[in-house]
Amino acid sequence: MKKKIDILFYFINFLTFFRLLGGLIIFILLFLFSKYNYFSLFYIAFFFFVASSLTDFLDGYLARKFSLESELGKIFDPITDKILTTTTFFLLSYLELTPWYLVLVFVLRDIIVDGFRIFLAKKNINVAANFLGKLKTLLQILAIIIIFLGYSISTEIFIKHYYLFNLTTIFAAIISVISGIYYVAPVFKLVKKQ
């Protein structure tokens, strides 16, 4: 039984690290697509994004179901999520499939939130991931899938209805800002006390 649990534990951590690899592969594929315009590269990148996103839900589900949540997983899970979504958004922005300023919102929010979380950790204040943070990630994944799907089905329709296809990205950016405020708020409370 212990051996099975050990194997499952390593499998869960492998799924987390798979997202890192997925992010790198997607980056390379979309960059090559931007240079050579081979749609097969775009489709493969789409496949890797969906597969990598599914590992996010699967590793979390398995870790909770079998009580195998680890400190390593708690640290690396959100990092790999950010690498996967930010890398993909960056390249989609480079391909002009999503607005660059929305990608900038995601990047700045993550930098600010991570900075504040490090500051709070030094003060022994733990700000755990909340519903809004998880919703932000879910919306980002959904937004990327919609962009991939829309552009894959018809480039002409996608270009014509650019902002309609990016509506979920806009919602994700709004939730990103709101969830960012939630993480930053404890710092201002701490400063007021001092």
- Residue 68 makes CB contacts below 8 A (sequence gap 6+) with 5, 8, 9, 12, 62
Average the pLDDT over 163-184 and give the result: 94
pTM of the complete model: 0.91
Read off the amino acid at residue 194: Q
User: For 127-168, what is each residue's pLDDT tens digit?
Assistant: 666 788 889 999 999 999 999 999 999 999 999 999 999 999
Residue 111 has pLDDT above 80, yes or no: yes
Helix (H) or strand (E) segment spanning residue 156:
helix 155-160
On whether the CB atoms of residues 138 and 171 are closer than 8 A, the answer is no
Are 131 and 183 spatial neighbours (Cβ–Cβ below 8 Å)? no
Q: Which segment of 11-20, 86-95, 100-109, 157-166 scores lowest on mean pLDDT?
A: 11-20
